Amino acid sequence: MRGEIESALGVDLFAEVTGDERLPSCFEVSELLSASVAAVASAASSLVEAVGLASSPPPVCVHQRLVSLWAGRSIHPVGWEMPPVWDAVAGDYRTRDGWIKLHTNLAHHRRAALSVLGVEPDRGLVARAVADWDAEALETAIVDANGVAAAMRSRDEWLRHPQGVAVATEPLIAWDAGRPGSLRSWGGTRDRPLAGLRVLDLTRVIAGPVATRTLAGLGATVLRIDPPDWEEANVVPDVTLGKRCAHLQLDTSEGKASLERLLADADVLVHGYRPGALDGLGLGAEARQRLNPHLIEATLDAYGWTGPWAGRRGFDSLVQMSCGIAEAGMTWSSRTEPTPLPVQALDHATGYLMAAATLAALCKGARGNGIGSARLSLARTGYLLARHPATITGTLGLRPEQADLSPITERTPWGDGRRLRPPFDMQGTTIAWDSPATELGATSATWSD
């Protein structure tokens, strides 16, 4: 696993991983997460050397227990509660011939699923309606209605499916051809290597936001943009740590002009709208390059960049259903219903790998080797994990102990909280977040107040 990540990234994974506690799974989930964070740590250390902040890459150390805990909830509220992870309808339902997962956390996706099923948002009504469908037919109908759902497939079925075939031929990290050019000097320090680096964040829910949260932990200024009506209450306290978050209506001329100004002054763009969505907003690759020839990009999608499902909306939990992970979990655990990974590991690993790819691209640029951008997908990360069945049964639960938590109280808009300690260390650098988690749209759409 480390070897594949190393060659995809083009950086030696020299970070030491400490601890051997593992999450329970039939796949090497904790190993995947640790290797992805080792990629971040190793690339960050290489960057410190590349930009002349140290004469050699500083030692880096990854804490497997903390990495695994970060894949659950990273904030531990004091006197308040995190909203539930799932809305009232989301979940696995029995079809005539198998299982389907409905992802209905976002209101427009819920409307799409319910309109296909022709029922009100009630689990019992949904279950009765789903039972009259075949899984793939319902999946297709919901996707055609711009919703999100995934039928449960076995790994063999996925490897034979045209999308599974396409994903298997994609690289873990697809680098573009690169272009000549130099980076703007952002003025990082040994303590905070990314201080002054501007990261524009057009990502949602977990995977992309984990990438930008990781860069913020190294000192980057991260500005996240969302449409004014976008809401992800169940993950916001976890993923907005260290970021500025602003609203922009990008399909208006003022909103687009604001984004163009932000893009022109950015160093990095991390995005996770569906492929083609930025083009639809008049901000396709050429336009972005014209606005900012120095811009490094890291992008993700759900199901890969080639094949019939390239462009399909998706989430980690759906990709796990499609690619055989939920079915393998069911057999392994002797349960009678789809059994996903104990955490949304495809999201977290893909997010860390996007952060690592950004750091590797900065390294390359700093060494005068041009400007490059990377593309990743949840499905390709899933393909990596599914080839690594666990040989040791993990037992780690997701409840942290006091020693796992930072002693500092984080003051959030929802109340005080304690954040997990950082999942890795780098000698001479403070891994920390300069601001607490915040509501979406809380700041102005500018690089500073």
Q: Which residues bind ligand OXK (CB under 6 A)?
A: 106, 108, 148, 204-208, 225, 227, 248-251, 272-274, 277, 280-281, 300-302, 313-317, 344, 347
Q: What are phi and psi of 322, to 5 degrees?
A: -70, -40
Angle, CA 208 vertex, CA 152 and CA 417 arms, to 5°: 100
What is the β-pairing status of strands 198-202 and 221-226? parallel
Q: How far is CA 73 from the centre of its chain?
A: 14
Nearer Cβ to ligand OXK (184/274): 274
E strand or H helix that includes residue 201: strand 198-202
Catalytic residue among 226, 347, 416, 434: 347
Pairing of strands 424-426, 60-63: antiparallel
CB of 356 to ligand OXK, least distance (A): 17
Of 187 and 276, the one with the shorter C-beta distance to ligand OXK is 276
Q: Provide the 10 A C-beta neighbour count for residue 182.
A: 12
Q: Least distance in Å: CB of 41 to ligand OXK?
A: 22
Closer Cβ to ligand OXK, 35 or 239, answer by number: 239
| Nearest-5° Cα angle at 249, 375 to 449 | 90
- Residue closer to ligand OXK, measured from CB, 301 or 410: 301
- Contacting residues for 412 by C-beta, under 8 A, at least 6 apart: 75, 237, 436, 437, 438
CB of 206 to ligand OXK, least distance (A): 3
Question: 138 or 239, CB closer to ligand OXK?
Answer: 239
Q: How many CB atoms lie within 10 A of CB 323?
A: 31
Measured from the CB atom, the residue of 71 and 371 that comes closer to ligand OXK is 71
HSE-up of residue 248 (Cα within 13 Å, Cβ side): 26
Strand extents, DSSP E, 265-324: 268-271, 296-301
CB of 331 to ligand OXK, least distance (A): 23
* 347 in active site: yes
Q: Minimum distance between the CB of residue 276 and ligand OXK, rounded to whole angstroms? A: 6
Backbone phi, then psi, for 397, in 5-degree steps? -90, 175
Question: C-beta of 440: minimal distance to ligand OXK in Å?
Answer: 11
> Catalytic positions, please?
347
